[in-house]
Amino acid sequence: MKRKTGKGGEEEKEEEKNKKKMEIVWQTPAHPAHKDDYILLNGKRHVRPYYFEFVSHVNKRWEGKTIVDLFTQEFRGRPNDYYVSAVKCGRIQVDGENIPVSYIVNRCQKISHFVHRHEPPVMAWDVAILQNEPDVLTVCKPASVPVHPCGQYRKNTVLGILQAEHGLAPLYPIHRLDRLVSGLLIVAKNPAKADIFRQHIEAGLVQKQYVAKVIGVFPECEQVVDANVDYNAREGRSTAEVGISNGDTTLKGKAACTKFTRISTNGIHSIVLCEPTTGRTHQIRVHLQFTGHPIANDMLYLSDNVVDRSTLGMTADRAAALSCSCPTTGCENHNEEYTYSSEDFSIDPMCTHCPNLAPNGYDGHEEGLWLHCVQYSGPGWVYECPYPDWASLS
């Protein structure tokens, strides 16, 4: 038997140390966000890439497809070659088992995809706490930050940041704001309080106020838009429609109504108070477009052209911003360079996004909408948020 030299023993220890360092810890939604998960860089809040298990179940549309075709067709953020390799090495499993690339999926089966997850960056503004009551928390939500985990976002969310930076969890948002919208967000601290708010909302007892910066001189007298809102989930865009349904034609979408009141104007832009009585997707945005005064930096509704976001593999707003050339807002596309540091995160050899912090398709430039929630009120309660800087036309 050969005796190991001192040098060989040290090499073995170093090898074992590196092996442990490379061990993958798979995260799930149960893993909370921590303050050191974030990297603030060039005005953006990035999340250090981490290993995550995505779980989904085979639906009717997926049934009968091979596992590789399913992922290639439904999840376009990665190429076909990646999915072939992921199946072969067990990073894509069905019902907890490794399967061949030719495997055909069946209805309701559980599919796990183990990924090196790169979350999109958001603006590096704080989630400012406005009021912290025993049962209710109100915050000023920054634009670009989703309220709760959705799509590619989990830690880069209002709930994730509040948990990481303030230890506040669990929380129950009683309403939502679109990702690019800023302003008042009301969060209950327990299910009982959340249920009370829900009852008020469902009974139509809650009044909502937003401010928007729109193009042109908005009419001085109050404007009421009563137009159906039809949201196309595939396009990520809504349309407004008015008229009377009869035997030949049927109005699409859901009934929606918004009251608009001009606050100020400088002849180029106007600040408008928006009071929606319903809560349809993109309601204020599409109703302002309907008046002929769209939000001045809303690329998605400044043009009638539909952006093919599915082909680009990104949100409709981001696809619209990337494809715009808009003299009204002077928007430009900027590619931010980032020098990778081994202290920030470890590169995964299979990852299609490494060594970049952001996923592919995110150029680092994104502007929050000039739409801001300023007040919610209901029976016996009122919560408010300060106006944003852009709401002053001086």
pLDDT at site 332: 45
d(CA 360, CA 378): 43
Please give the radius of gyration of the chain, using alpha carbons only, rounded to the nearest integer: 24
pLDDT at site 324: 61
Query: In the predicted model, what is the mean pLDDT of the chain?
Result: 86
- DSSP letter at 389 equals G
Residue 15, pLDDT > 80, answer no
Whether residue 392 contacts residue 363, with contact meaning beta carbons closer than 8 Å, is answered with: no
d(CA 47, CA 35): 10
b/e map 230-259, b = 16+ CB within 10 Å: bbeeebbbbbbeeeeeeeeeeeebeebbbb
pLDDT at site 335: 47
pLDDT at site 115: 93
Average pLDDT over residues 7-32: 62
In sign, the C-alpha dihedral spanning 127, 133, 135, 136 is negative
Residue 304, pLDDT > 60, answer yes
d(CA 175, CA 147): 9
pLDDT tens-digit series, residues 95-113: 999 999 999 999 999 999 9
Residues that are catalytic:
178
pLDDT tens-digit series, residues 241-265: 886 655 556 678 899 999 999 999 9
Residue predicted with more confidence, 314 or 341: 341
Which band of pLDDT confidence, cut at 50, 70 and 90, is reported for residue 4?
very low
pLDDT tens-digit series, residues 274-298: 999 999 999 999 999 999 999 999 9
pLDDT at site 313: 52
Q: Which CATH fold topology does 50-117 show?
A: 3.10.290
Residue 144 — left, alpha, or beta (φ > 0 → left; ψ -120 to 50 → alpha)? Answer: left
Average pLDDT over residues 38-59: 93
Whether residue 284 contacts residue 258, with contact meaning beta carbons closer than 8 Å, is answered with: yes
d(CA 307, CA 292): 20
